[in-house]
Structure 1
């Protein structure tokens, strides 16, 4: 019998799960779990209960309908009953404790019948914490042993992972040694086409014309060619194990011998000097570069699918503004939960011109946006910084899958409202000039003149939920005669 000194019970919610439809591999069925849970409820004097079921679903998944429904219905003082902690989650201690913490955050408590855990009692919480510590220690020990084993294998010339982690042209042969495969000739062809420093885009076009496919079975683009050309493994005969996971710690790399595919002279002949003449820096094609932010706040840069568009015989390449992991510093965009966030250039550029024209015609909007740089003292700076740090930690929890997207958005928006409320009120800007002539000119400006206007007014746009953009910051230049405008 569990400790009887427990708080009052609201609604009792029983959660049942098996990972296979046959229910055989788990050793107990949904019916057995249900019978045990209802028997416990009867012994505790609980007559009414709600039952939530996930049949044939792995416990490593966070998107289980039954569990999500239970957490959504959960109210303060509710009791969640499971046959065992393994029914709640099988994705490791972090996942299981995350679910338990979510139950407790909503004012509920958990009872696990197999482990005799009741989070509503001091002994129950103690046992849970002990299990969590032991499980975490086991995870760390297993990780260390696995790492040591892989390092030992690498030191003996064995690649300790699946072959898909190797560069193109190599595979994992007998005994784990790295050997060449049937893509080695493709690698040699890439270097032959790039000899003399030809552009990556030229090489990609030529490969696509010849019907040569990538490892994934698709067409080539310039970035894929660049990754092959810059990889020194093809002429050094040495694959640096762990260089990808620890790029800034060469001391931790472990060289593994590989058959070289090229001579050093052949490798050098294909190299080309990096330039800054990239497509996303071409202001004629991407006038909003440096002036546009994603919904998540990251700056966007231009992107074209030139190689694929040529392959599909498109007269004009499709242009985008991209929110990428490299630009924002996180693996996924918090605004859409994906690795990349694409904005159609033709849509956002038309929307940007329309938004700027509207602002220049409306003195009230212009007055509000032109107040940047004229703010009072900032007494809420410290509190605002702490709230912004909380928002950052919240984003990290979401990226790690510890909170669902709905709760993340709700908490993020609440923090954003508090942060906005703490921002200092700007001082009024006086004597703004008449700018309707500039508004008339906006739709007619050439790309070069438009970029100049954006620079002069220090315009900044932000993406909106509907895919359009709006002006969020603007400064009136001094040469227009504004005495106090910035």
Structure 2
């Protein structure tokens, strides 16, 4: 049987909030399957499929969402096919309306197969959608509030609930909550909705003494060089030096060593101390910095699919092919 929309084109979008776990019992694969079935029944050609796994509907800062918007802009499909309204946003009816109006500006209708196949501009949607989008946003707020209350209660009971630190000075360990420092790699396994085992590994915290750190600084090593030597991210070591524990709510009284670091590094440079053992690490740091500067220059001159620069349109910077990056 010929579909009512035979010959028209569509993009499909799906989303769940938690990685390895379906959101509200509707997995990515289920959403895609239902949307594909609608397209097949209607005779609609699918020109793109996008899905964000593990990203909340309370933000539009989603890579695949941005790529989907770019494809709509560049390929002019007739429909965006989404399981239901909550897959687009859970920020309430006002935000939903703004997003749908933006899509309508590209002459792209929105269809919800998981809601009986209603379209965003239908009479049924005018009654159903405001109620659903408002309810979704309320439920998200209630869930967030309950989670916050649970976290606060655990902290009051002395239970650590923050993520483990990537690096700490061993002198700071007694000042930090129990569990903040992970002494061994932590392996966790759980099953996803399809029964497959998902295995995650959290790396053990890197620990070094304040004495060893300043010994390297006195020989002319910067934070960037030391981080490279110790296999750390620069920001990870910088936070530790500045006493930023990333557990503010747990009130870790970690000292700020940054002023001392600046003073001693300057003293080493003024004295002409420059240990050649650091040179390979310095080259790596310089090469990385040069690459980052080149990327920044490219980003500053990139052209969006709609001809704008910066953040003047929906989503992140994307190319005419629906992918992020510079348009050639």
Residues 259-313 of structure 1 show CA distances to partners (whole Å, capped at 9, x for unaligned) of x9xxxxxx799962857x98xxxxxxxxxxxxxxxxxxxxxxxxxxx99994318
1:109 paired to 2:109: yes
CA contact (8 A) 1:190 1:203 kept: no
* Helix, strand or coil at the partner of 1:158: coil
Q: Which of 90, 94, 98 is 1:93 aligned to?
A: 90
| C-alpha distance in 2 between matches for 1:336 and 1:268 | 35
Note the C-alpha offset of 1:138: 2.0
Alignment of 1:39-188 (within 5 A): 39=41, 41=42, 49-54=44-49, 58=53, 62-63=63-64, 68-74=70-76, 78-82=78-82, 84-85=83-84, 89=87, 92-93=89-90, 97=96, 100-116=100-116, 117-164=118-165, 167-169=168-170, 177-179=179-181, 181=183, 186-188=208-210
Aligned counterpart for 2:279 among listed residues 301, 308, 311 = 311
Q: Secondary structure at the match of 2:115?
A: coil
Partner of 2:247: 241
Structure 1 residues not aligned, in runs of 5+: 1-8, 42-47, 234-238, 243-252, 261-266, 279-305, 325-331, 338-390, 409-486
Q: Which residue of 2 aligns with 1:336?
A: 299
TM-score normalized by structure 2? 0.51
Bigger-Rg structure (1/2): 1
1:93 Cα deviation from its structure 2 partner: 2.7
How far apart are residue 115 of structure 1 and its match? 1.4
Whole-Å Cα distance in 2 between the matches of residues 99 and 201 of structure 1?
53
Q: Shift of residue 135 of structure 1? A: 1.8
1:13 aligns with 2:35: no
Distance 1:309 1:102, change over 3 A: farther
The separation in 2 between residues aligned to 1:33 and 1:55, in whole angstroms, is: 12
Aligned length: 256
Hey, what's the Cα distance between the residues in 2 that align with 1:115 and 1:99? 18
Shift of 1:133: 2.0
Listed one character per residue, the Cα deviations across residues 173-229 of structure 1 (whole Å, up to 9, x for unaligned) are xx96345748676224335627xxx65844769969xxx942xx25x97x8766444
Distance 1:149 1:395, change over 3 A: farther
RMSD: 5.7
> Following the alignment from structure 2 to structure 1, what is the Cα–Cα distance between the partners of residues 160 and 241?
22
Give the Cα–Cα distance (whole angstroms) in 2 for the partners of residues 109 and 270 of structure 1: 55
1:403 to 306, 311, 315: 315
SS for the counterpart of 1:157 is coil
Q: 1:309 to 1:153 in 2, by over 3 A?
A: same
Number of the residue aligned with 2:303: none
Query: Which residue matches 1:343?
Result: none
* SS across alignment from 1:111: strand
Note closer, same or farther for the CA distance 1:70–1:334 as it changes in structure 2 (3 Å cut): same
Deviation of residue 163 (structure 1)? 0.8
| CA apart distance, 1:67 | 7.1
Taking the TM superposition and a 5 Å limit, the aligned residue runs for 1:220-231 are: 227-231=239-243
Measure the CA separation in 2 of the matches of 1:308 and 1:128.
66
Deviations 1:376-424 (A, max 9, x none): xxxxxxxxxxxxxxx9xx95676xxx4242589xxxxxxxxxxxxxxxx
Please show how residues 74-473 of structure 1 align to structure 2 within 5 Å: 74=76, 78-82=78-82, 84-85=83-84, 89=87, 92-93=89-90, 97=96, 100-116=100-116, 117-164=118-165, 167-169=168-170, 177-179=179-181, 181=183, 186-190=208-212, 193=215, 201-202=220-221, 213-214=229-230, 217=231, 227-231=239-243, 241-242=247-248, 253-255=249-251, 272=260, 310-312=278-280, 336=299, 395=310, 402-406=314-318
Q: Gaps spanning 5+ residues in structure 2: where?
A: 16-25, 56-61, 185-204, 267-273, 301-307, 321-328
Preserved CA contact (<8 Å) 2:167 2:237? no
Could you say if the C-alpha distance between residues 152 and 134 of structure 1 is closer, same or farther in structure 2, counting changes exceeding 3 Å? same
CA distance in 2, matches of 1:151, 1:312: 46
CA distance in 2, matches of 1:185, 1:230: 16
Distance 1:120 1:308, change over 3 A: farther
Q: How far apart are 1:160 and its partner, in Å? A: 1.0
With over 3 angstroms needed to count, the CA separation of the structure-2 counterparts of 1:34 and 1:321, relative to structure 1, is closer
